[in-house]
Chains A and B, each alone.
Chain A
Amino acid sequence: MLTPSLPVRSALAVVLLICASAAVSAATVAQRTLANGMTIIVKEDHRSPVAVSMVWYRAGSMDEVSGTTGVAHMLEHMMFKGTAKMPAGEFSRAIARAGGRENAFTSRDYTAYYQQLHKAKLPLALELEADRMVNLTFAEEEFAKESKVVMEERRSRTDDDAHSQLYEQLMATIYIANPYRSPIIGWMNDLQNMQLADARGWYEKWYAPNNATLVVAGDVEPDEVFRLADKYFGEIPARVLPLRKIQTEPGQLGIKRITVKAQAELPYLVMAYHAPVLRDVENDREPYALFVLNGILDGSDASRLNRELVRKSRVANSASSSYDLINRGPALFFLDGVPAEGKTVANVEAALREQIRVLVEQGVSDDELRRVKAQVTASQVYARDSVYYQAMRIGMLQTVGLPIDSSDLQVKKLQEVTADEVREVARKYLVDGNLTVAVLDPQPLDGSKRPRLTPAGGGHDQR
């Protein structure tokens, strides 16, 4: 991760274990709020003399308005372009000289900045983050160059990738009103027309201590981190944040279908269903049942989709499902597949629908349920091997508005899910009235354009 990255939530590639929201034990998490409203969270992990520091802003692409899509991510890039004290590039150089690694990421829900370093260098990371929370310089020249960089990023991630294009079009079809409809990186036209003032406006609106959370994980003492946080961030004044309006998506009135033509060899099909999201860790039931349903369909190689569509009937080259129960906005349940040789997207859709029918009619077995729960339990332990990941999970929970100490409770709730509940959420949510289907109609390179790998003369040939 050498450059600011953008976790386009390719919901199609998320695996069960990564979704385990409960992956971090809350046993040693300490939390304070500074006088200016900034939240400080410390997770101790004394296995190695390292620390990760993350500053999370509760502002992502879902907070953007039409015409300036991509501005959250653009500002993320500008955050590396200097303050009065640390001119453009100096932030990165200072962290590098301290032996650190650093980057940032923007999602639909949030923007976050992090440094991984030796624990003795933690004060430097906090000092520099506090500096750029308020003192960012917005130079026209830097902005002009960085918007080109972002457009290259978009070409690389989306425009030259057929599945990314499909996913982008799919989201814009699923949602009519909800801002999840726009791509995190922004529409190309918006990027081309973006002004420095847009980025500055975004910064002034959202980059305030009362809209931020500092998460520090690693070989640190909470009291010392609180002291440092107060020292560096405590002086920054709170600001009145813009009113966040609730944008409820109007009800879907029937199945939606789109076709995307893009350069690729193989067709591809995605089915996306509206599904509930986790809001109340204690009292919600359905999100946990959907999480388990996802595990039963695609938690391992022996889960239903792979076993039935890929191994047994061989209708698909690959088939998977995904569901992310933790979002600020609404959730989706995805099914997808690549047809096998001689099969079509229609065959794959029929096979996926057949799996839903079987599940709704016959339910799930105790063995299947047990396997998913065992994976949840184990993944909670495995997650503790990565200091970075522990900080990441805490930051997500906090930013999305769920209790950061709810991890163990979430695991407990997942263990309580019954076979009937799984069957019931499948019956209730995997229905046509909730569904958007997207099909990739591949446009292969034509014969004349197909690359020839014989060298075009000059220099040495194949040796």
Chain B
Amino acid sequence: MTSARIACLKGLLGAACLAATATANATLPIQHWQTSTGARVLFVETHDLPMLDVAVDFPAGASRDTPEKAGAAALTLGLMRGGAAAFGEDEISQRLAGIGAEMSGRFDMDRAGYGLRTLSSARESSEALTLLAAVLQKPTFPQNVFDREQQRVLADLREAESRPEVIADRQFRRLLYGGHPYSRRGSGDIETVAALQRDDIVDFYRRHFTAGDAVVSIIGDLTRSEAAAVAEQLTAGLARRVQPLPPLPAVTQLESGHLSRIAHPATQAHILIGQPGIKRLDPDYFALFLGNYVLGGGGFASRLNEEIRQKRGYAYSAYSYFNPLALEGPFQIAVQTKKDTAQDALKVAQDTLASFVAEGPTPQELDAAKQNIVGGFPLRIDSNRKILEYLSIIGFYRLPLTYLDDFPAQIERVTLDQVKEAWARRIHPDRMVTVVVAGADTH
């Protein structure tokens, strides 16, 4: 990271940064600056296709919900396109369709925002950006749209809460994170969503969709100066941040294991095993990520798949993953198998995890993991859509702009001992949350 970029990240205003941000990345020439209102911008210029992709993200994901108003974050995002500036709901949709543009919400535990894909021709891009700018900066939250969408969300929740995978996920989050915001689902709960008022939405929007917290990612057929104008257009009318958002509370690690069994009439048992995992900016990120390829992230090449599916035929899907977030997102193993084999499959998953943590990968496994991740690196950035997502992650989590350039070398550098040590220190097979939905019928 150059000093110019550091200066920008520390909050100099746009004009000062604009002069000093030319970059020389080998893989992807990412340009970075701030808008006049302090929004961070990441831009890749590419004229191969006559189109452009934009994403604007805010720290307004599910973790920003309060327990009493869980579901407000997701509903706010959805309602922003339900009317904005002088545009009614139907007009926004019709105008987007009329130029073949696609605008869609982006939502996870940490982030919420909108993505836009449009042709780069003047008429189309201008209209599309006008609509996106209105949705981001001037949502009107009409009462009738609020009422309707609240009812729709409630209906979806009622359906979802009968589904075994949803029940399992919900219980898993609760046991993993207790009262921490990461225990919350984006959708909220029936009781909390039913209690939401339009004012809650207006309030959530006002506090979270501010210029200083916005991250604008742009890739496509436009020049740097055009991109600068786009970023201004999308953020100049955002509210200024009155006070910084409170930091999320620290995630506490589990002190003991917990097994939860929930009865369900489905034919398959849904098994989840896990614990709080890693942060985006985690010193152990690469060691844990690489190790997980061997354990359960590498598809057919992984131990969990080998043991549960290929050797025993217990399951169609068996895998593990880390979901790195601003704080420690979940580490999770997931298996689905018919009820008769649930107990055996659970044991195999637990044993596979325990022996991996105790012994680490073999040198051959580690070598194969590196070959796949390093050799397959070009596949991670082979489309504008994929690059846009990396821009968003780099911008939102303040990763180095050289993150992608450095990625293969970071993987290569990890040693077998580092993987073993990191897994032994961070992952605790004896203190896992285990949820089995449908499992109770076998006892």
Closest Cβ of chain B to A163, distance in Å, is 10
**B91, B171, B317, B379, most chain A CB atoms within 10 A:** B379
Interface residues of A in 64-113 (CB under 8 A from B): 80, 88-89, 92-93, 96-101
Task: Name the residue of chain A whose CB is nearest to the CB of B382.
Answer: A48
The digit string for B55-66, where 1 denotes a CB below 8 A from any CB of A, is: 000000000000
- Expressed in whole angstroms, the Cα–Cα distance for A449 and B171 within the complex equals 16
Closest Cβ of chain A to B333, distance in Å, is 13
Given the known inter-chain contacts A98-B375, A445-B265, please indicate yes or no for A459 contacting B257, CB distance below 8 A. Answer: yes
Q: Which of A371, A378, A451, A452 contacts B119 (CB 8 A)?
A: A378
- Expressed in whole angstroms, the Cα–Cα distance for A387 and B383 within the complex equals 8
In this assembly, does A341 line the interface, its C-beta being within 8 Å of a C-beta of chain B? yes
Task: Name the residue of chain A whose CB is nearest to the CB of B103.
Answer: A301
In this assembly, does A159 line the interface, its C-beta being within 8 Å of a C-beta of chain B? yes
Are B317 and A2 closer than 8 Å at their CB atoms? yes
Given the known inter-chain contacts A302-B94, A370-B98, A456-B260, please indicate yes or no for A49 contacting B378, CB distance below 8 A. Answer: yes
Are B99 and A378 closer than 8 Å at their CB atoms? yes
Are B371 and A387 closer than 8 Å at their CB atoms? no
**A118, A152, A301, A370, most chain B CB atoms within 10 A:** A152
Q: How large is the interface on B (under 10, 10 to 19, 20 to 34, 35 or more residues)?
A: 35 or more
- Expressed in whole angstroms, the Cα–Cα distance for A98 and B265 within the complex equals 43
- Expressed in whole angstroms, the Cα–Cα distance for A17 and B97 within the complex equals 11
A155 proximity list for chain B (CB < 8 A)? 267-268, 336, 338
Are B167 and A451 closer than 8 Å at their CB atoms? yes
**A92, A317, A382, most chain B CB atoms within 10 A:** A382
Are B379 and A160 closer than 8 Å at their CB atoms? no
Task: Name the residue of chain A whose CB is nearest to the CB of B268.
Answer: A155
In this assembly, does A463 line the interface, its C-beta being within 8 Å of a C-beta of chain B? yes
- Expressed in whole angstroms, the Cα–Cα distance for A433 and B264 within the complex equals 41
Task: Name the residue of chain B whose CB is nearest to the CB of A16.
Answer: B97
Given the known inter-chain contacts A377-B100, A381-B49, please indicate yes or no for A462 contacting B174, CB distance below 8 A. Answer: yes
Are B263 and A451 closer than 8 Å at their CB atoms? yes
A310 proximity list for chain B (CB < 8 A)? 148, 152
B383 proximity list for chain A (CB < 8 A)? 48, 385-387
A156 proximity list for chain B (CB < 8 A)? 268, 316-317, 336
B101 proximity list for chain A (CB < 8 A)? 378
B152 proximity list for chain A (CB < 8 A)? 310, 317-318, 340
In this assembly, does B301 line the interface, its C-beta being within 8 Å of a C-beta of chain A? yes
- Expressed in whole angstroms, the Cα–Cα distance for A168 and B265 within the complex equals 20
Task: Name the residue of chain B whose CB is nearest to the CB of A450.
Answer: B162
Are B94 and A47 closer than 8 Å at their CB atoms? no
Interface residues of B in 83-115 (CB under 8 A from A): 89-94, 96-102
A121 proximity list for chain B (CB < 8 A)? 375
**A159, A314, A371, A372, most chain B CB atoms within 10 A:** A371
In this assembly, does A422 line the interface, its C-beta being within 8 Å of a C-beta of chain B? no
In this assembly, does A289 line the interface, its C-beta being within 8 Å of a C-beta of chain B? no
Interface residues of A in 273-315 (CB under 8 A from B): 299-303, 307, 310-311, 314
Given the known inter-chain contacts A93-B368, A96-B372, A160-B267, please indicate yes or no for A149 contacting B148, CB distance below 8 A. Answer: no
In this assembly, does B300 line the interface, its C-beta being within 8 Å of a C-beta of chain A? yes
- Expressed in whole angstroms, the Cα–Cα distance for A263 and B256 within the complex equals 35
The digit string for A1-41, where 1 denotes a CB below 8 A from any CB of B, is: 01100000000000001000000000000000000000000
Are A99 and B300 closer than 8 Å at their CB atoms? no
Task: Name the residue of chain B whose CB is nearest to the CB of A2.
Answer: B299
Closest Cβ of chain A to B96, distance in Å, is 7
- Expressed in whole angstroms, the Cα–Cα distance for A146 and B92 within the complex equals 49
Task: Name the residue of chain B whose CB is nearest to the CB of A312.
Answer: B90
- Expressed in whole angstroms, the Cα–Cα distance for A307 and B156 within the complex equals 19
Q: Which of B260, B299, B312 contacts A3 (CB 8 A)?
A: B299
Closest Cβ of chain A to B179, distance in Å, is 6
In this assembly, does B38 line the interface, its C-beta being within 8 Å of a C-beta of chain A? no
A367 proximity list for chain B (CB < 8 A)? 94, 98
- Expressed in whole angstroms, the Cα–Cα distance for A284 and B254 within the complex equals 64
Closest Cβ of chain A to B66, distance in Å, is 17
Task: Name the residue of chain A whose CB is nearest to the CB of B161.
Answer: A265
Closest Cβ of chain B to A47, distance in Å, is 5
Given the known inter-chain contacts A152-B336, A385-B385, please indicate yes or no for A449 contacting B263, CB distance below 8 A. Answer: yes
Task: Name the residue of chain A whose CB is nearest to the CB of B258.
Answer: A459
**B46, B254, B338, most chain A CB atoms within 10 A:** B338
B337 proximity list for chain A (CB < 8 A)? 152
In this assembly, does A453 line the interface, its C-beta being within 8 Å of a C-beta of chain B? yes
- Expressed in whole angstroms, the Cα–Cα distance for A80 and B301 within the complex equals 12
Closest Cβ of chain B to A162, distance in Å, is 9
Are A341 and B372 closer than 8 Å at their CB atoms? no
A408 proximity list for chain B (CB < 8 A)? none
In this assembly, does B204 line the interface, its C-beta being within 8 Å of a C-beta of chain A? no
- Expressed in whole angstroms, the Cα–Cα distance for A8 and B116 within the complex equals 29
Are A145 and B311 closer than 8 Å at their CB atoms? yes
Given the known inter-chain contacts A48-B382, A377-B100, please indicate yes or no for A152 contacting B89, CB distance below 8 A. Answer: no
In this assembly, does A271 line the interface, its C-beta being within 8 Å of a C-beta of chain B? no
Closest Cβ of chain A to B170, distance in Å, is 7
In this assembly, does B313 line the interface, its C-beta being within 8 Å of a C-beta of chain A? yes
Are A101 and B437 closer than 8 Å at their CB atoms? no
**A97, A376, A377, most chain B CB atoms within 10 A:** A97
In this assembly, does B315 line the interface, its C-beta being within 8 Å of a C-beta of chain A? yes
- Expressed in whole angstroms, the Cα–Cα distance for A458 and B433 within the complex equals 11
In this assembly, does B13 line the interface, its C-beta being within 8 Å of a C-beta of chain A? no
In this assembly, does A122 line the interface, its C-beta being within 8 Å of a C-beta of chain B? no
Interface residues of B in 258-317 (CB under 8 A from A): 258-268, 298-301, 305-306, 309-317
In this assembly, does A170 line the interface, its C-beta being within 8 Å of a C-beta of chain B? no
In this assembly, does B377 line the interface, its C-beta being within 8 Å of a C-beta of chain A? yes
Task: Name the residue of chain B whose CB is nearest to the CB of A448.
Answer: B263
Are A265 and B158 closer than 8 Å at their CB atoms? yes
- Expressed in whole angstroms, the Cα–Cα distance for A116 and B379 within the complex equals 8
Given the known inter-chain contacts A266-B159, A381-B50, please indicate yes or no for A48 contacting B93, CB distance below 8 A. Answer: no
Are A99 and B93 closer than 8 Å at their CB atoms? no
Are A145 and B313 closer than 8 Å at their CB atoms? yes
A148 proximity list for chain B (CB < 8 A)? 313-314
Are B313 and A149 closer than 8 Å at their CB atoms? yes
The digit string for B234-270, where 1 denotes a CB below 8 A from any CB of A, is: 0000000000000000001011111111111111100
Interface residues of A in 180-195 (CB under 8 A from B): none
In this assembly, does A264 line the interface, its C-beta being within 8 Å of a C-beta of chain B? yes
Are A97 and B371 closer than 8 Å at their CB atoms? yes
In this assembly, does A384 line the interface, its C-beta being within 8 Å of a C-beta of chain B? yes
Interface residues of B in 366-391 (CB under 8 A from A): 368, 371-379, 381-385
- Expressed in whole angstroms, the Cα–Cα distance for A28 and B258 within the complex equals 58
B98 proximity list for chain A (CB < 8 A)? 367, 370-371, 374
Are B178 and A463 closer than 8 Å at their CB atoms? yes
Mind listing 25 A-B residue pairs with CB under 8 Å? A2-B300, A47-B46, A80-B300, A99-B375, A118-B376, A145-B311, A145-B313, A151-B338, A160-B266, A302-B91, A302-B97, A310-B152, A317-B152, A318-B152, A341-B151, A381-B119, A449-B264, A456-B260, A456-B262, A459-B257, A459-B259, A460-B254, A460-B258, A463-B177, A463-B178
The 9 closest A-B pairs by CB, nearest first: A99-B375, A378-B100, A463-B178, A459-B258, A302-B93, A148-B313, A145-B313, A99-B376, A92-B300
